Amino acid sequence: MSRFVVVPQWQGSGSSRAMRLVDGAGAIAGDLPRAACTPLEVPLEAGESLGSGIRRLSSLVRVRDLLERELAGAEEPVLVVGGDCGVAIGAVSAVASPDLALVWFDAHPDLHTPETSPSGAFGGMVLRAILGDAPAQLALPAGTITEDRVVLAASRDVDPAESAFLASSAVRTVPADAFTDPAVFADAVRATGASRVHIHVDLDVLDPSAVGGVSQPVPFGPSVAELVGAIRAVREALPTAGATLTGFAPASPEAAVDDLGAILRIIGALA
């Protein structure tokens, strides 16, 4: 992947630091080759829920449409840089097909629905929407990507409703302590039977000691080196259809600089 689409969406976040995601996406873009970057103009307004149970739905739908149009007909895989992890709905939708696997590196599984979400933030529902269980404006058609094609990695802050879903689903899970053996990830993605893979990375998947600029840090995650090794193992196992990198919310420009070296290592593995 040598092309980057930068999507500074904040409307999918439920954090009080949501606007910092705009700064985070800009900071990452500033360290990427300018000629390879395409910025998307995200609506300034928060947006309306339109009775959906999803906060700021109207803006989220608009960004999804803009991103799908931008990625349509892309000749090579694209790395989408968010913003909140809700940008993954447009990135995955643009390349989705029954032969696609999805590897979801995230401290949170993002498997809520509007009925179970405590916040109404789409960032906590996006993987469930990819599986088809969300209001029609955001959900992928049911069966486009099935549960058995999803590998959920290092999710360790899981709400009871998400645990209940995982207990009865075919989603493959890989715990944080498995990152010491990258082959686990290659085996998991091959076991999906897919022929291509989309890789999603929310930076909160990392241990808080590795990157400080995330909204909801969760302890006991992998190191940068372990995450890079896992990404490389996935890419060696299957061709990459695309990727998303989300969740950078630095407290200040100075704090962003402290994290960018680690983030660029991850981008190097993805791209």
3-class state of residue 11 by DSSP: coil
Provide the pLDDT for residue 214.
96
Q: What percent of the chain has pLDDT over 70?
A: 100
> Looking at residue 123, what is its pLDDT?
97
Confidence class of residue 75 from pLDDT cuts 50, 70 and 90? Answer: confident
d(CA 172, CA 167): 11
What is the pairing mode between strands 3-7 and 78-82?
parallel
DSSP state of 83: S
Q: How many C-beta atoms surround the C-beta of residue 69 within 10 A?
A: 12
Q: Which backbone phi and psi does 200 adopt, to 5 degrees?
A: -110, 130
Mean pLDDT (whole number) for 196-205 = 98
% of the chain at pLDDT higher than 90: 96
Indicate if the alpha-carbon torsion angle 127, 92, 30, 42 is positive or negative: negative
Beta bridge partners of 151: 103, 172
Copy the structure tokens of residue 36. 């390879």
Phi, psi of 176 (to 5 degrees): -60, -30
Q: DSSP state, 199?
A: E
CA distances from 30 to 6, 38, 117, 227, 269 (A): 10, 12, 34, 23, 18
pLDDT in tens, 168-181: 999 999 999 999 99
- Say if CB 192 and CB 151 are below 8 A apart: yes
pLDDT band at 74 (very low <50, low <70, confident <90, very high): confident
Q: Which residues contact 119 (CB under 8 A, 6 or more apart)?
A: 14, 55
- What is the pTM (predicted TM-score) of this model? 0.97
